[in-house]
């Protein structure tokens, strides 16, 4: 087999970096366009050629956005709902996944199969019965209605279960022989070694709740309960849309997701690789 020369290897590396650079620019450009739009007026976003430089409308767009939807309240609602949801959903998914992975009980595989199959049910099919149930108990337009319905998230349980399966059962048996209870084993022995899996699951849960639009749109009735997706949807008018405001809102809504991901990035990669190896 003919070996490549140093020149061929060099040109191969240069070509690879050029290709990666092109993909990088394509990936970053939507974010750049979003930031540019948030600093310009709406009419400058559709000029020919398009405006690609930052403008001086940043504060005006921010003030207009706050006057329209109350951006501080919207930010609080989204952070509170998403943060509370992540904590509670992690408790539910981790305990359920641990039971599916390490406890042998009758019907375990059947229940887990049904849980996974439930992921195939269209989310829209559950809206009407869910709305009727929340309305019957007077829970519409509350934080409980936004947080509770999806606490048992099948994909989160599946992801955590795959990581729990890799945990040595011998350590659990040793802890039981030493007199440790099941909750102590779970909290003191198992969970500390599952930080990467918990971080990966947290990111999925946070992004799911932060971007959730359909159910909050149905469950929310007053503006003071708006989350970001619902608030941003109100900025699109029938005859006129202020795209400067909209881009400003999208920019603000993107920041918490990026911060959350960057903080947990290292653990996220480790958790995904751990479940993939299993």
Q: Each residue of 215-242: pLDDT tens digit?
A: 999 999 899 999 999 999 888 776 677 8
pLDDT tops 50 at residue 275: no
pLDDT tops 70 at residue 248: yes
How far apart are the C-alpha atoms of 164 and 168, rounded to whole Å? Answer: 9
Q: What is the per-residue pLDDT for 189?
A: 85
pLDDT tops 60 at residue 276: no
Specify whether the CB–CB gap between 70 and 137 falls below 8 A. Answer: no
pLDDT-derived band of residue 146, with 50, 70 and 90 as boundaries?
A: very high
How far apart are the C-alpha atoms of 200 and 185, rounded to whole Å? Answer: 22
Name the maximum alpha-carbon separation found in the chain. 75
Structural tokens at position 189: 């022995």
Structural tokens at position 165: 């399966």
Q: Please tell me which of 38-42, 82-86, 116-120 the model is most confident about, judged by mean pLDDT.
A: 82-86
Q: What is the per-residue pLDDT for 56?
A: 85
Q: Quick one: CA torsion of 9, 15, 21, 24, rounded to 10 degrees?
A: -100
Specify whether the CB–CB gap between 93 and 160 falls below 8 A. Answer: yes
């Amino acid at each position: 087999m003919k070996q490549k020369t140093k020149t061929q290897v060099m040109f191969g590396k240069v070509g690879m970096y050029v290709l990666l650079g092109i993909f990088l620019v394509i990936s970053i450009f939507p974010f750049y366009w979003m930031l540019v739009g948030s600093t310009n007026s709406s009419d400058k976003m559709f000029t020919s050629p398009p405006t690609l430089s930052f403008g001086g409308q940043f504060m005006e767009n921010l003030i207009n956005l706050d006057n329209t939807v109350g951006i501080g309240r919207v930010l609080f609602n989204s952070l509170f709902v998403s943060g509370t949801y992540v904590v509670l959903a992690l408790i539910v998914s981790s305990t359920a996944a641990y039971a599916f992975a390490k406890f042998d009980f009758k019907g375990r595989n059947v229940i887990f199969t049904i849980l996974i199959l439930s992921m195939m049910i269209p989310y829209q099919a559950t809206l009407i019965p869910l709305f009727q149930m929340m309305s019957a108990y007077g829970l519409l337009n509350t934080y409980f209605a936004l947080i509770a319905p999806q606490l048992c998230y099948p994909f989160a349980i599946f992801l955590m279960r795959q990581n729990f399966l890799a945990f040595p059962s011998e350590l659990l048996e040793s802890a039981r022989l030493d007199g440790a209870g099941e909750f102590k084993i779970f909290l003191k022995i198992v969970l500390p070694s599952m930080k990467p899996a918990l971080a990966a699951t947290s990111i999925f849960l946070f992004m799911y709740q932060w971007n959730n639009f359909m159910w909050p749109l149905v469950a929310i009735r007053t503006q003071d309960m708006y989350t970001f997706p619902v608030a941003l949807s109100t900025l699109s008018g029938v005859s006129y849309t202020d795209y400067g405001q909209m881009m400003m809102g999208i920019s603000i809504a993107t920041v918490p997701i990026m911060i959350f991901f960057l903080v947990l990035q290292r653990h996220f990669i480790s958790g995904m690789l751990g479940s993939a190896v299993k």
